[in-house]
């Protein structure tokens, strides 16, 4: 929620804000007269007709400066000012509240006890944008980010490129109005510090995340997911600094679970890992823009990736929980069922598992294991996480066989446990491989906790996807973080 | 909607006002580019400047925009960027 900065320099007494267009405001004109007649010092601001209410010397607020500063959302609003600060307010007509605020009893005899008001003109969408811009220029908001004033002839999208704010694609210009609208997507205060973002170790506020979410193209309702992703990525366990700095391919991938995924239209179905969904595309991008702009993590500087991968622009999708043979990823990782959560994962690009023949879980697990062996290198074992995205047509096979995730995980660990003679350096005439100490015995390529399963994808296609993690031996672990409103 | 004011998405450790590229302390050993934007008599001015600079022992490279009415085409911008250390542009007639 965003409120304007506390209006200062107010005179002690009462303030009423009204507009003639509002029937409740017209109804309580007599009450305003009674307050004046009882000697209550009441200043009346009028939002539309400067002559309304007639005979009560209203103050013209058709420019809405006072209404904006006072944070008026409803007319009529009655405010009590003490010590130059608003100490109480009543929205709409409520006899008991108005009497309490004014200290005058018997107000509005003959009127109903309550009557709701109308929307303040400050909330009209077009006006709100103008007011937000004006307020930021005047320093009259809770927003603390530095305003950048562009030149008369400067194109705002080109200006964002020129200042280095972009990931290479155009960004939505982060105007004050857009940022204020974005902040309405979260109940958290704009100034709340959410995380410390490497490599600059800069404090990141909700406001800074909102600015970058605007640039990424997010809708306000996506903001809680972006905030959770930033919180998760900036934990010691995930280690975004290492993920950023490594020469390896990885970038942060976000898997979303829980009711928020459907509510904001995240895709978990056809083309779940691809393009075309605004929520998928912009949430992943917003996280990367926060790392770039707040953290200062830029390719060629701290980001030393040899190749990177296309998912470093954006990589976010939801789990198809309803169609899954298993409990959701977030539930398996300790989040209550029904709560929303993100899991961040240091991801390389997806690789295909094609298996159109297996009708038994054993056979399909064999295909998974054969493909899993190639992650990083067929002769390297240990320390690498993998997300296995199981499609509906493959999920059906495991459901029919009543294989739990734990069963599948154990089978895959067993089937990717390799003889040392095959993986030692030089074996198969390949220099790459494990050191001489691995030459005898057998060695698991994965520990059980290295294998994560997510159910997603279109209903046609007997494919799954493997998404390899960072080979940094525990340099980054997947982190699951609850989404708060 | 006005887009004249943008809110800074960065950690604000760099100044909002961007600095110009640093000016060389001396022209010694520098290749000096002269960019003619095709304004009338700009070539005369730059030609005289080239004589003066070359008389002082500087190396001068000439560039020319096809027309002053449009931004320099990419190949001219690239040639200027890669071909000299400092550039002098004749802007008006």
Average pLDDT of span A255-261: 98
d(CA A91, CA A17): 10
**A3 pLDDT above the threshold of 80:** no
Distance CA A138, CA A133 (A): 9
Enumerate the residues of chain B whose CB falls inside 8 A of the CB of residue A143: 7
Per the CB < 8 A criterion, the answer to whether A176 and A143 are in contact is yes
The answer, for B9 touching chain A at a CB cutoff of 8 Å, is: yes
- pLDDT given for residue A135 in this prediction: 81
Q: Looking at domain A13-125, which CATH architecture does it have?
A: 3-Layer(aba) Sandwich (3.40)
Residue A264's closest CA among A202, A337, A213, A309?
A213
Encoding tokens for residue A246?
């490594």
Angle of the A176-183 helix axis to the A125-137 helix axis, nearest 10: 110
Are A145 and B12 within 8 A, CB to CB? yes
CB contact under 8 A, A145 and B9: yes
Number of cross-chain residue pairs from A and B with Cβ atoms under 8 Å apart: 80
Q: B86: how many CB neighbours lie within 10 A of its CB?
A: 13
CA-to-CA distance for A28 and B23, rounded, in angstroms? 69
Distance CA(A28)–CA(A34), nearest Å, equals 10
Residue A133, pLDDT score? 81
Pairing relation of β-strands B31-36 and B59-64?
A: parallel
Q: What is the pLDDT of residue A140?
A: 75
Q: Do A174 and B13 touch (CB under 8 A)?
A: no
Q: Could you tell me the two tokens for A212? A: 């970058």
CA atoms within 13 A on the CB side of A258: 24
Cα–Cα dist A243/A476, whole Å: 7
What distance lies between CA A475 and its chain's CA centroid? 25
User: Angle A274-A277-A278 (CA atoms, 0-180°, nearest 5)?
Assistant: 130
The residue with tokens 């790392």 is A291
- For residue A482, the cross-strand partners are A341
Q: How far apart are the C-alpha atoms of A22 and A10, rounded to whole Å?
A: 25
**DSSP 8-state symbol, A85:** E
pLDDT given at position A128: 78
pLDDT of A6 above 50:
no
State chain B's mean pLDDT as an integer: 90
A335 near A482, Cβ under 8 Å?
yes
Residue of B nearest to A143 (CA): B7
Residue A177: C-alpha distances to residues A21, A99, A143, A481, B54 (Å) = 25, 37, 11, 29, 56
Which residues make Cβ contacts (< 8 Å) with residue A385, sequence separation at least 6? A345, A346, A450, A451, A452, A468, A469, A470, A477, A478
For residue A405, what are its two tokens?
Answer: 């995730």
CB neighbours (10 Å) of residue A34? 19
> What is the per-residue pLDDT for A9?
63
Residues 11-70 on B with a CB inside 8 Å of A are 11-13, 16, 18
pLDDT(A327) > 90: yes
Q: What value does the mean pLDDT take over residues A194-210?
A: 97
Query: What mean pLDDT is predicted for residues A128-144?
Result: 82
CA-atom Rg of chain B in angstroms: 18
What is the C-alpha to C-alpha distance for residues B19 and B31, in angstroms, rounded to an integer? Answer: 23
- pLDDT one-digit tens code per residue, B38-74: 888 899 999 999 999 999 999 999 999 998 888 889 9
pLDDT of B18 reads 78
Q: In this complex, do B2 and A148 lie within 8 Å of one another by their Cβ atoms?
A: no
Helix (H/G/I), strand (E/B), else coil: A403: coil
Q: Which residue among A129, A175, A208 places its CB closest to the CB of B6?
A: A175
Q: Average pLDDT of A178-183?
A: 94
Chain centre distance of CA A245: 24
Q: Which two tokens stand for residue B69?
A: 């009415």
Q: What is the pLDDT of residue A138?
A: 81
- pLDDT of A5 above 70: no
Give start and end residues of each alpha helix (H) in A38-79: 65-69
Tokens of B39: 């304004």
Tell if the CB–CB gap between B9 and A165 is shorter than 8 Å.
yes
The verdict on a CB contact (< 8 Å) between B9 and A295 is no
Question: Which residues 6+ apart lie within 8 Å of A161 measured at CB?
Answer: A170
pTM: 0.84
Which has the closest alpha carbon to A121: A67, A176, A69, A70?
Answer: A67
Element containing residue A288 per DSSP (H, E): helix A278-293
- Listed by start position, the domains of chain A span 13-125, 153-339, 349-468
pLDDT at A438 over 70: yes
More confident residue, A128 or A211: A211
Smallest CA-to-CA distance from A238 within A298, A287, A302, A189 is with: A287
């Amino acid at each position: 929620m965003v409120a304007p900065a506390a209006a200062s320099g107010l005179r002690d007494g009462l303030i009423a804000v009204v507009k003639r267009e509002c029937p409740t405001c017209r109804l309580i004109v007599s009450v305003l007269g009674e307050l004046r007649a009882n000697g209550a010092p009441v200043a009346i601001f009028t939002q539309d007709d400067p002559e309304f209410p007639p005979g009560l010397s209203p103050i013209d607020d058709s420019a809405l400066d006072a209404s904006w500063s006072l944070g008026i959302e409803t007319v009529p609003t009655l405010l009590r000012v003490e010590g130059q600060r608003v100490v109480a307010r009543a929205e709409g007509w409520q006899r008991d509240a108005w009497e309490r605020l004014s200290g005058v009893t018997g107000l509005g005899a003959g009127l109903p006890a309550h009557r709701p008001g109308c929307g303040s003109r400050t909330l009209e969408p077009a006006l709100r944008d103008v007011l937000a811009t004006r307020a930021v220029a005047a320093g009259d908001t809770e927003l603390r980010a530095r305003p950048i004033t562009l030149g008369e002839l400067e194109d705002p999208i080109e200006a964002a490129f020129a200042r280095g704010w972009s990931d290479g694609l155009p960004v939505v210009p982060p105007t004050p109005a857009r940022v204020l609208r974005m902040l309405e997507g979260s109940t958290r205060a704009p100034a709340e510090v959410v995380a410390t973002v490497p490599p600059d170790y800069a404090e990141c506020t909700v406001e800074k995340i909102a600015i970058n979410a605007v640039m990424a193209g997010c809708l306000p309702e996506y903001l809680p997911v972006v905030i959770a992703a930033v919180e998760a990525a900036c934990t010691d366990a995930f280690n975004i600094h290492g993920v950023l700095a490594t020469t390896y391919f990885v970038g942060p991938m976000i898997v979303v679970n829980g009711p928020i995924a459907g509510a904001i239209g995240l895709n978990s179905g056809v083309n779940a890992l691809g393009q075309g969904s605004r929520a998928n595309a912009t949430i992943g991008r917003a996280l990367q823009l926060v790392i770039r702009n707040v953290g200062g993590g830029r390719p060629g500087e701290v980001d030393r990736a040899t190749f990177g991968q296309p998912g470093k622009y954006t990589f976010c999708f939801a789990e198809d929980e309803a169609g899954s043979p298993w409990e959701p990823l977030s539930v398996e990782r300790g989040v209550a069922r029904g709560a929303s959560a993100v899991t961040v994962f240091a991801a390389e690009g997806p690789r295909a598992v094609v298996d159109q023949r297996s009708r038994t879980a054993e056979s399909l697990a064999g295909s998974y294991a054969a493909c899993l062996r190639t992650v990083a290198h067929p002769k390297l074992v240990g320390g690498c996480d993998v997300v296995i995205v199981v499609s509906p047509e493959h999920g059906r096979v495991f459901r029919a066989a009543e294989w739990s995730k734990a069963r599948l995980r154990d089978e895959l660990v067993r089937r990717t446990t390799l003889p040392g003679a095959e993986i030692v350096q030089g074996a198969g005439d390949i220099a790459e491989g494990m050191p001489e100490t691995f030459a005898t015995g057998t060695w698991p390529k994965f520990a059980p906790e290295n294998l994560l399963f997510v159910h997603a994808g279109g209903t046609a296609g007997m494919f799954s996807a493997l998404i390899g993690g960072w080979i940094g031996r525990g340099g980054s672990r997947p982190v699951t973080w609850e989404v708060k409103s | 909607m006005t887009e004249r004011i943008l809110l800074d998405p960065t950690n604000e450790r760099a100044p909002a006002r961007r600095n110009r590229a640093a000016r060389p302390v001396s022209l010694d050993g520098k290749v000096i580019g002269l960019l003619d934007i095709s304004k009338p008599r700009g070539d005369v001015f730059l030609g005289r400047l080239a004589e003066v600079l070359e008389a002082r022992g500087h190396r001068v490279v000439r560039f020319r925009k096809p027309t002053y009415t449009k931004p320099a085409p990419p190949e001219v911008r690239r040639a200027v960027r890669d071909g000299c250390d400092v550039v002098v542009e004749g802007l008006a007639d």
